Amino acid sequence: MSRRQRVAENLNDALHHLLAAHPGTYVIGEDLADPYGGAFKVTRGLSDRFPDQVLSSPLSEGGIAGVGAGLALAGNRSVVEVMFSDFAALAFDPLLNFAAKSVSMYGRRVPMSMVVRCPTGGNRGYGPTHSQSLQKHFLGIPSLHLREVTPFHDNRRVLTAMLDREEPGVLFEDKVLYTRAMYRDGVVDDLFRYEVLTDPAETARVFAPDCGPPDWIVLAPGGLTERAVAALRSLLLEEEITCELLVPSQLYPFDTEALLPVLSRAGRVCVVEDSTADGTWGELLAQRLHERLWRRLARPVLALSAGPSIVPTAAHLEHEVLPQSSTIHRAIVEATK
């Protein structure tokens, strides 16, 4: 069996594909040029192969988001890399007030094919300004959609769908996940299998075959996959609690309605995410699920997130703030009693 592709390689392959497929596609970002090829090597080989389509930019996150929006306004497709998602705060105005609003504020639909890629999340010891998960800060913006990279979804398809939508989007890419392998052929490991559902968010469903209806359904963005699967395993083997994991490709807008048949198979639902506590994606989902599933749920949705804290640097401190597999395991055991 051939070596499975790593997530960063899959993203790199997707960007090569996009630039080759459309000469009017541009990739813009800091330190993208070869031989460096980007801080996380996701853009490796692009500037050598497509010198006219790759712009290795000055340190100007707001500026390059605006340039990407200008290219999109003129009918191109732009992919803007923000080196660490924390710095997307510097690009908030061009995204919120220009790119997203332009889709509708001129009274007719203005196509804006633009993706801002954001290497995100912690567990790598980069400290408070390089480790945060900012997804929650981009929720609820008209015409701005959010996706997160997962090991289940091929990024050619993800990025193509985002650009075909003709609305700006933000793609969150967990920095630990970069180094992990893509899953394929419906296999996660010896215990778990997966399938990708046909709901609008293209949710991946991870399950243990022949276990019947699950006790719990865990909903998590792609960056949590490894920690969530580890929790599924320990809960099954050590506690005899069966869980399924749902990992959507698209985080927002999120169509909970389409997932209700899957979600209503369990009496208990847990949402888990890396964003700082309060006002989060998981809370939004929990609120919607309470409205639609209240009578069927054995207990309120269990919402797990990072603590109400900055993300500290030292490994033991960072481990305490961000949800780990043990956090998920313990919380679910406690909530099952």
Partner 1 sequence: MNVTSASPAVGPRPATGPEYAPERDPGGGAAGPPLSRLSDADLDTLLMIRHFELAVLELFSQGKLHGTTHTCLGQEYIPVALYPLLGDGDYVFSNHRGHGHYLARFQDPHGLLAEIMGRDGAVCHGVGGSQHIYRDRYLSTGVQGQSLPVAVGVGLHLKRAEPGRIAVVHIGDGTWGEGAVYEALNMAGLWQVPVLVVVEHNGIAQSTPTERQMAGTVAARAAAFGVGHLRIDSVDVTDVRAALTPVVGQVRDRHQPYVVECVTHRVGPHSKGDDTRPPEVRERAARHDWYRRYRHHHPGQFAAADRAQAEAVAAVVREVGARPASRWEAR
Q: Is the peptide bond before 200 cis (omega within 30 degrees of 0)?
A: no
Between 61 and 173, name the residue whose CB sits nearer to partner 1: 61
Closest approach of partner 1 to the CB of residue 63, in Å = 3
Minimum distance from CB of 68 to partner 1 (Å)? 6
Specify the residue, 68 or 221, whose C-beta has the smaller distance to partner 1. 68
Least distance between partner 1 and beta carbon 121 (Å): 27
CB closer to partner 1, 60 vs 179: 60
Q: CA nearest 280: which of 247, 303, 309?
A: 303
Q: Is the dihedral of CA 247, 249, 254, 258 positive or negative?
A: negative
Distances (CA, A) of 253 to 146, 152, 170, 208: 7, 20, 12, 29
- In terms of CB distance, is 67 or 332 closer to partner 1? 67
Min separation Cβ 22 and partner 1, Å: 13
Pairwise CA distance, residues 214 & 267, whole Å: 8
Nearer to partner 1, 141 or 306 (CB): 141
The residue ranges that bind partner 1 (CB under 8 A) are 24, 26, 52, 55, 57-58, 60, 62-76, 78, 93-94, 97-98, 101-102, 104-110
Minimum gap (Å) between residue 52 Cβ and partner 1:
7
β-bridge partners, 217: 244, 269
CB-CB neighbours of 270 under 10 Å: 24
Are the C-beta atoms of 308 and 276 separated by less than 8 Å? yes
Q: How many residues does the chain have?
A: 337
